């Protein structure tokens, strides 16, 4: 069979192998594919692998050999699933491959906010410690996480992994979710969103982006947070109203924000958060540890193998 990876660079910039997929047939891998070249590059393919390249009804109609689409991500909005069903094209995604990596990154952002490791490293290199009359030097408030309140919005795999890390730091964990499970997590306090916003010292967004959660964090909800609170977003950029968050940071209405996602990626140079104070932004790399990317490639191969032998594995069609 012919297999085409339309945009493989983010998953594998060259440090991993596509051999797991190549074992199923003739494999072509493109680092990136612009929309206008999708059909040309996918022509004759029975299996397509996509990350951000949209496969809609028009593409499916133009690709009569296509039988399978593998999404090299958890989110499925890059494929028109209704059209896939009409064309009898199987679609599978890869859930939970990056759970540990994203949860780890939540705390990488938080620790930078409360301890300023990177900031102080730069200050040391600039000579601030060398010119300090004391043996210890600090340029930002140093905040201990023990006994602070860690609030999580959304409690899927990543939210649950994050909760375990917060508990290990000695933090009390509050969760706002549509599906509380007190029996499975008796140590978790399930609360409404308003209570979480007002009580939490840290708020971490782990919920999916839906019509209900778009711009969930806006001026009204930011105003309910403690002035000493931090916002962490490793979910989706549109969970936050960026202009209103930037304004809150400029006014000191909250203490800071750590963001791995923005509403437009890469961001335009006029994104208001790029010059907001105490706002640390990483370029959508929470998921991208080598271990997570290897799991992603392994799962893509396992999903395709399941399809070829007539089994249903991670199917979303």
Task: Spot the catalytic one: 265, 290, 311, 315.
Answer: 265
Query: How many Å apart are CA 228 and CA 230, to the nearest integer?
Result: 7
Task: Spot the catalytic one: 236, 242, 253, 295.
Answer: 236
190 strand-pairing partners = 175
Can you tell me which residue has the tokens 């997590």?
185
| Residue 40 annotated to the active site | no
| Residue 244 annotated to the active site | no
The two three-digit tokens of residue 96, written as one number: 């939970």
Query: How many Å apart are CA 55 and CA 290, to the nearest integer?
Result: 27
| Residue 284 annotated to the active site | yes
Query: How many Å apart are CA 140 and CA 137, to the nearest integer?
Result: 10
The two three-digit tokens of residue 193, written as one number: 């969103």
Omega before residue 166 within 30° of 0, cis: no
Query: How many Å apart are CA 285 and CA 294, to the nearest integer?
Result: 15
Beta carbons of 96 and 73 less than 8 angstroms apart: no
Chain centre distance of CA 281: 13
Beta carbons of 170 and 130 less than 8 angstroms apart: no
Would you please indicate which residues are annotated as catalytic (active-site) residues? Answer: 236, 265, 284
């Amino acid at each position: 069979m012919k297999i085409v990876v339309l945009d493989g660079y983010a998953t594998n910039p060259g440090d991993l192998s596509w051999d797991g997929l190549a074992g199923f047939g003739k494999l072509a891998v493109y680092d990136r594919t612009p929309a206008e070249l999708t059909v040309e590059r996918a022509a004759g393919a029975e299996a397509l692998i996509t990350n951000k390249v949209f496969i809609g009804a028009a593409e499916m109609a133009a690709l009569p050999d296509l039988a399978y689409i593998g999404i090299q991500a958890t989110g499925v909005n890059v494929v028109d699933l209704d059209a896939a069903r009409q064309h009898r094209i199987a679609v599978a995604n890869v859930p939970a491959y990056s759970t540990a990596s994203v949860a780890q990154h939540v705390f990488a952002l938080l620790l930078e906010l409360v301890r300023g490791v990177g900031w102080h490293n730069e200050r040391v290199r600039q000579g601030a410690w060398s010119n300090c009359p004391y043996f210890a030097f600090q340029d930002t408030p140093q905040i201990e996480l023990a006994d602070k309140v860690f609030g999580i919005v959304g409690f899927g795999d990543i939210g649950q992994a994050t909760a375990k890390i917060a508990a290990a730091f000695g933090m009390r964990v509050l969760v706002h979710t549509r599906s509380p499970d007190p029996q499975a997590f008796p140590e978790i306090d399930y609360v409404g969103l308003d209570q979480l916003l007002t009580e939490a010292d840290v708020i971490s967004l782990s919920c999916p982006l839906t019509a209900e959660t778009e711009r969930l964090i806006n001026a009204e909800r930011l105003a309910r947070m403690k002035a000493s609170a931090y916002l962490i977003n490793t979910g989706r950029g549109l969970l936050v109203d960026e202009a209103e968050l930037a304004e809150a940071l400029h006014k000191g209405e909250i203490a800071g924000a750590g963001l791995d996602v923005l509403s437009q990626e890469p961001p335009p140079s006029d994104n208001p958060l790029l010059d907001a104070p105490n706002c640390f932004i990483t370029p959508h790399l929470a998921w991208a540890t080598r271990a997570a990317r290897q799991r992603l490639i392994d799962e893509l191969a396992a999903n395709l193998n399941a399809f070829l032998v007539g089994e249903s594995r991670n199917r979303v069609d």
